[in-house]
Amino acid sequence: MKIEKLIIYGFGRHENRTIDLTGQMALFYGPNEAGKTTMQQFIIQILFGFPARKGAQMRYEPKNGGKYGGQLHISDPHYGKLVVERIKGKSAGDVTVWFEDGRRGTEVELKQLLRNYDRASFEAVFSFSIHELQGLEGLTETELSRTLLISGTMGIDEVTRLEIQLEKVMAQLFKKSGRNPEINVLADELRGIEGELKEYRQRTELYGPYIERLQEIDDRLVAVEVEETKMDQQMRKIGKWQQAVPLLADKRRLTEQLKTMEVVQFPLDGKRQMDRLVDKLSETKAGTEHLVNQQSSLPALEEGEPIFALENLLNRESDWHHLRMQLVQKRNEHIELSEDRQTTLSLLGLLEQQALTVDVSLSNEEQLVGRLKDLDVEEEDHRFRLRNLQEEKNKLAQIETEMTSFLTGEPAGTERLAAEQWPAISAKLAEAKAASKFQTTGSGNGQFINYVLIAMGLIVAVYGVVQSSVLLIVLGLTAIGAAAWLFLKTPKSGELSAEYKATLKEYDGKESEYEAISRKIAEFDYQLDGLMAQRDAIKKKIASYSAEQPAGPAKVAYQQLLLQIGLQPEASRTMVLELFEKLRKVQSMHSRLQRIDSEIRLLEKQQKEWLEKAEAACEKELAIGELIPSLRSELALRNQKQEEWFKIKEKRTTLLQETSRLTAYQKQLEKEQQALLEYAFAEGVSVFYETADEWERKQQLERELALVDGQLNSIGEIAIPDNWQFDEAGIALESCHANQKELKTERNVLLAEQADKQQMTRLLLSDSSYEEKQQKFEEKKAEFTDLARQWSISKAIVAAINQTMDELKDKKLPAVLDNAQLYFNKLTAGAYQGLALNMAGYFEAERQDGTYFRIAELSQATKEQAYLALRLSLAKSMKNSHPFPIIMDDAFVHFDRSRLQQMINLVTELQKEHQFIYFTCHESMQQAWPNAQIINVANTERSIHS
């Protein structure tokens, strides 16, 4: 398979590029960032598809948009010439394969073309770069041998990667002495769960004895409860008797005291009411005396002057300021306008009265503009006539010069005479020649010709009459006339006139000379007539331009209009419109000044009215500049006096109202006090207080008696024998308390034991932890079994891979090693003659003297030579099954000149059967590979061939 052409629609930085690969060795050269790797990826991705968008590999989509993808023109030994096109579409792109016979294919046909190879398999054999060679330096001996083995065996790299991946998976599942692998963790968890299950089984054996003990505890608790109930009843009876004895004694005492009380009724809360009334009466009397004293101490003041007019003026303060500001503005505006008007009049050089008399209406301005346009047109016509007159004078001088020059070449007089006589002489010469010819041809022929001419003339003339064609009639008559003339001129046989002889002698053979003289004279006369006609026409134009004298009506109308408007007729035409505008501005300013004067007079009148009102309100003369401050000061003074008068008046009114209120309130209090005395049957306040004390004592005794009765009712019936003493009841209570305490202690012990036993039995009955632990144990065991099966499968696969690799070493590798040894020998220039695997599975290189070196012991460049030898040998062994081109990216940069030349020689030898595509950024490679096709990647030329 050979790639013959690359057509890039858009891929990375490359766009619209076509590259023809003509030879077996194509060297793509370009500096860093020129796009070499992009070009390499273009070839691989067009063949094997664009990578996924979120994958690790780059897609190289054009940054500035445009069509994405391109074509590869391929020549294949089995499929012939075809084109593979891949453009943007699905994730890997839409691919189309055009075959030589016109068929189209898709991804299926492309896979057949690529012999079912994917990108990884292709890159493992037919594509390698400097990065893979640089990686050889850091590999261990085992890894290096493994890499060389992969390089020399087709497909073993995928198997090796699978082996490494499976070993990582196995290490994650189980290690003999590990803690973190999943199987090790599960084994520890299973051992822990198994110990917990053993403890659960031991606790279930205590369930039967606990049930029997709980029944015994229930029976004893019932008996204790019965005994405590009896003891409580006995203690309640003794307690009731102890409570009732002192209460009965208190009831008898309280009843006797109530019988001695004489007070019958008293006002509810009467004492507090009397205290309040006494205090209020004292306070009211003192307040009344104080108010009377205050009234007598108030000064006598007159009512203040009115302030309405002042307030009204101050409320309009903004109007005053606005009036003042307007007056100042109008005066300033009047001054500015006066100055502008005077400046404008100075520029115009006119007095004010003169400027005001000028009519600057729009109609006059429009007429003035029209007159100016007419004047411009009139002057332009005058200038145009002057230009035309000068041009015609210049043309006349030029024509006369040409005629003078032309007349210097006038023909001679003899030539002009010969030209004038030549028409008659040429006719005579023709007659003489005809007569001579007729004389020689014989008389019979001459007569026959005459008759023929007469007959033809008659026929043509008759036909012309029939067709009404004047031309045919003239031709017929001419023929008849010629025949008649020939009859008359034809001499007799054997005779020729002397005139004819003289004519023939003088002019025969000189026809061309006389014709040339005639043409020369005619051409001279024709040119001379043309020049004279031009001169006459120019003279007529000059005469017409000179005769026209413009009367200048536009200028006269313009000057008359200026006089009509009121301007001087000699006013500058370029400045008249600006003068017109200035005059209009002066008149406008005059009108505005008149209006401002009237406004100023009106404002001054309003200011005077304001001042008169303010002086009337203040009752004194005021200054205009201090009007508002004076009004404020006067208003503040009057407000102060008015406020003082209002305060005193309000205070006097308040004191009178308060005195009246206190007097009425005092009478109301005295009335309430008398009502309390009458209700308590007391003659005075002191007696009322004594009655109040006695009534409070009676109320206290009644409350105590009610409390005792309530307590006796709450105790209820007393069943203790009457012969009991109060001390005996205490001893009985102490005995009951001791027995009750013993029962309570026993009950608490039994309840604690019962709770413990019940908790344990309920836990044993309802606790599902055992089942959960058992289920978890089974789940973990199943998970452990599954992981163990996975580990076993991986182990078996690794064993199978090792066995497969051994078979590959024994079967496929030897065939590749034969060519690899030959290539290695050539690359090292005979320094090493062999390359083989030892018994331990490591690659060794045999030196020329028979010494063996492990690959790890060789230099970096020699390792790379071994790697390249195996790669190239593998590619050659697959030529028939997979005839792909070999793509290399700067694979020889570590070689010195000698090793590089050996590598070039080997590639040159192999390129007869394989196409090589080499990418480099080193300019020296171009000189080192003179026979290769050099392609400059950085070339910006763009083209697309359809």
> For residue 375, what pLDDT band results from cuts at 50, 70 and 90?
low
CA 842/CA 147 separation, integer angstroms: 11
pLDDT at 390 over 90: no
Q: Which of 127-131, 471-475, 766-770, 925-929 has the highest mean pLDDT?
A: 925-929
Q: Which single residue is written with the structure tokens 């209460």? A: 247
Res 548: pLDDT: 57
**pLDDT tens-digit readout, 439-493:** 665 555 556 677 777 878 788 777 777 777 777 777 778 877 877 777 776 655 4
pLDDT at 864 over 90: no
Res 96: pLDDT: 94
> For residue 141, what pLDDT band results from cuts at 50, 70 and 90?
very low
**Among candidate residues 43, 45, 47, 24, the one with its CA nearest the CA of residue 114:** 47
**pLDDT tens-digit readout, 94-134:** 999 999 998 999 988 989 898 888 887 787 778 877 666 55
**Among candidate residues 523, 569, 280, the one with its CA nearest the CA of residue 406:** 523
| Boundaries of domain holding 86 | 1-126+882-946
Res 154: pLDDT: 47
DSSP secondary structure of 45-94:
HHHH-PPPTTSSS-----TT-S--EEEEEEEETTTEEEEEEEESSSTT-E
Res 367: pLDDT: 67
| Amino acid present at 758 | Q
| Amino acid present at 148 | L
pLDDT at 841 over 80: no
pLDDT at 652 over 70: yes
CA 580/CA 587 separation, integer angstroms: 11
Is residue 171 included in any domain, yes or no? no
CA 495/CA 307 separation, integer angstroms: 164
pLDDT greater at residue 570 or residue 936: 936
Res 221: pLDDT: 83
Is residue 526 included in any domain, yes or no? no
Q: Tokens standing for 361?
A: 């209406």
Show Cβ contacts of residue 743 under 8 Å, excluding neighbours closer than 6 positions: 224, 227, 228, 231
DSSP secondary structure of 341-372:
HHHHHHHHT--HHHHHHS---HHHHHHHHHHH
**pLDDT tens-digit readout, 1-19:** 899 999 999 999 899 999 9
- Percent of the chain whose pLDDT exceeds 70: 78
Q: Which single residue is written with the structure tokens 């009148």? A: 605
Q: What 3-state DSSP class applies to 915?
A: coil
82-96, 133-147, 362-376, 497-511: least confidently modelled range? 133-147
Name the average pLDDT for the chain. 77
| DSSP letter, residue 720 | S
Backbone phi, psi, residue 74, to 5°: -125, 145
Res 821: pLDDT: 80
Q: What is the CATH number of the domain that holds 118?
A: 3.40.50.300
Res 815: pLDDT: 63
Res 144: pLDDT: 44
pLDDT at 656 over 80: yes
Burial class (CB in 10 A: 0-12, 13-18, 19+), 881: exposed
Q: What 3-state DSSP class applies to 24?
A: coil
Region 373-385: mean pLDDT is 71
> For residue 401, what pLDDT band results from cuts at 50, 70 and 90?
confident
User: How are strands ordered across the β-sheet holding 69-76?
Assistant: 14-20, 2-11, 69-76, 80-87, 94-99, 104-105
Residue pair 569/576 in contact (Cβ under 8 Å)? The answer is: no
Residue pair 255/704 in contact (Cβ under 8 Å)? The answer is: no
Res 69: pLDDT: 94
Q: Tokens standing for 155?
A: 């497909």
Is residue 23 included in any domain, yes or no? yes
Res 73: pLDDT: 95
> For residue 561, what pLDDT band results from cuts at 50, 70 and 90?
low
Is residue 797 included in any domain, yes or no? no
**Among candidate residues 157, 182, 162, 187, the one with its CA nearest the CA of residue 172:** 182
Q: How far is CA 62 from CA 69, 111, 946, in A?
A: 9, 27, 21
CA angle 848, 849, 852 (to 5 degrees): 85
Region 276-281: mean pLDDT is 84
- Alpha carbon 427 to its chain's center: 102
Show Cβ contacts of residue 648 under 8 Å, excluding neighbours closer than 6 positions: 298, 299, 301
Show Cβ contacts of residue 644 under 8 Å, excluding neighbours closer than 6 positions: 301, 304
Res 946: pLDDT: 32
Res 26: pLDDT: 92
Region 138-142: mean pLDDT is 49
**pLDDT tens-digit readout, 587-619:** 778 788 888 888 888 888 888 888 788 777 787
Helices (H), 548-571: 553-565
Res 767: pLDDT: 58
Res 239: pLDDT: 73
Show Cβ contacts of residue 51 under 8 Å, excluding neighbours closer than 6 positions: 45, 57, 58, 59
- Alpha carbon 922 to its chain's center: 43
Res 95: pLDDT: 93
Burial class (CB in 10 A: 0-12, 13-18, 19+), 438: buried
Note the pTM of the prediction, 2 decimals. Answer: 0.38
- Looking at the structure of the chain, the number of domains it has is 1
Is residue 393 included in any domain, yes or no? no
CA 198/CA 189 separation, integer angstroms: 15
- Alpha carbon 165 to its chain's center: 45
Res 431: pLDDT: 75
**Among candidate residues 185, 5, 189, the one with its CA nearest the CA of residue 81:** 5
**pLDDT tens-digit readout, 13-50:** 899 999 999 888 999 999 888 888 899 899 999 999 99
pLDDT at 159 over 60: no
> For residue 718, what pLDDT band results from cuts at 50, 70 and 90?
low
Q: Tokens standing for 863?
A: 């390792």
> For residue 570, what pLDDT band results from cuts at 50, 70 and 90?
low
pLDDT at 942 over 50: no
**pLDDT tens-digit readout, 179-228:** 778 777 777 777 787 777 676 666 666 666 777 777 888 888 888 888 88
Q: Tokens standing for 932?
A: 């290769």
pLDDT greater at residue 82 or residue 530: 82
pLDDT at 553 over 60: yes
Res 85: pLDDT: 95
Is residue 897 included in any domain, yes or no? yes
Is residue 177 included in any domain, yes or no? no
Residue pair 586/341 in contact (Cβ under 8 Å)? The answer is: yes
> For residue 782, what pLDDT band results from cuts at 50, 70 and 90?
confident
DSSP secondary structure of 576-618:
HHHHHHHHHHHHHHHHHHHHHHHHHHHHHHHHHHHHHHHHHHH
pLDDT at 137 over 50: no
Res 576: pLDDT: 65
CA 532/CA 320 separation, integer angstroms: 97
- Percent of the chain whose pLDDT exceeds 90: 7
Helix, strand, coil shares, percent, the chain, to 5: 70, 10, 20
pLDDT at 143 over 60: no
Show Cβ contacts of residue 224 under 8 Å, excluding neighbours closer than 6 positions: 743, 746, 747, 750
CA 837/CA 805 separation, integer angstroms: 13
The residue length of the chain stands at 946
Res 377: pLDDT: 75
Burial class (CB in 10 A: 0-12, 13-18, 19+), 392: buried
Is residue 681 included in any domain, yes or no? no
